[in-house]
Amino acid sequence: MRALVVDDSRAIRSVISRMLREMGYSVTEAGNGREALDQLAATGGCPDVALLDWNMPVMDGFTLLGELRKDPSYASMRIMMVTTETEIDRMQAALAAGADEYLMKPFTPDALRDKLGILGLSQAA
C-alpha cells in the first residue's frame, strides 16, 4: 500500500511516515499542497491514501483536498485530514468536500491505525 503525507512540518511528516512504514506502507512526502500535486503529476501514480495537514503555506490541505477530488485520476484515493483544526465546522467542511476521515492532532499510532482500519486500509503489509 502507498501513502502520501502532506504536512509543512518536516518533524511531523517524519513521525507520521515512520508510523506508516511500521504498518507496512511505502510513503512519499510533500511539504504543501502544490508540491503534492506536482509530485503526483510527475510520478503518475495514485497512492491508496493521502494524509493532509490543513494549514500549510503555498497551498493548504483543504484546497488540495478540493483539487484531488476534482481529478478523476485520484478517485480511488482515500483522503484523511490530519490536523490541529478540531472545530466541528471545519470537520463538516472537510467531509463535505470529500475527505474520508479526519484525525485530530495530537494522536497516537493506535489512533492512526484505527482510522486506516475504518478506511479498510489496515492490512498494509
Partner 1 sequence: MSPSLDPQEFAWLCTFLRNESAIIIDETKEYLVTTRLAPVLKELGLKTLSELLTQLKRRPLTAVHQRVIEAMTTNETSFFRDLHPFDTLRNDILPELVKKRGGAGLNIWCAASSTGQEPYTIAMVLREAFPDVAARSKILCTDINNTVLERTKQGLYTQLEVNRGLPAPLLLKYFDRKGQEWQVKEELRRMIDARVMNLAIPWSGVAMMDIVFIRNVLIYFDIETKRSIIGRIRKNMALDGFLFLGGAESLLNIDSDFARTMAGKSTLYKRAA
Chain residues in the site for partner 1 (CB under 8 A)? 86-88, 91-92, 95, 99, 101-104, 106-108, 110-111, 114-115, 117-118
In angstroms, give the least distance from the CB of 19 to partner 1.
13
- 92 Cβ contact partners less than 8 Å away, ≥ 6 residues apart: none
All cell numbers assigned to 14? 517524519
70 by Cβ neighbours in 10 Å (0-12 / 13-18 / 19+) ranks as exposed
Of 22 and 38, which has the nearer Cβ to partner 1? 22
Q: How far is residue 27's CA from residue 71's CA, in Å, rounded to a whole number?
A: 21
Of 66 and 117, which has the nearer Cβ to partner 1? 117
CB 100 within 8 A of CB 79: yes
In angstroms, give the least distance from the CB of 53 to partner 1.
16
Of 29 and 101, which has the nearer Cβ to partner 1? 101
CB 71 within 8 A of CB 40: no
Of 57 and 120, which has the nearer Cβ to partner 1? 120
In angstroms, give the least distance from the CB of 99 to partner 1.
8
In angstroms, give the least distance from the CB of 90 to partner 1.
11
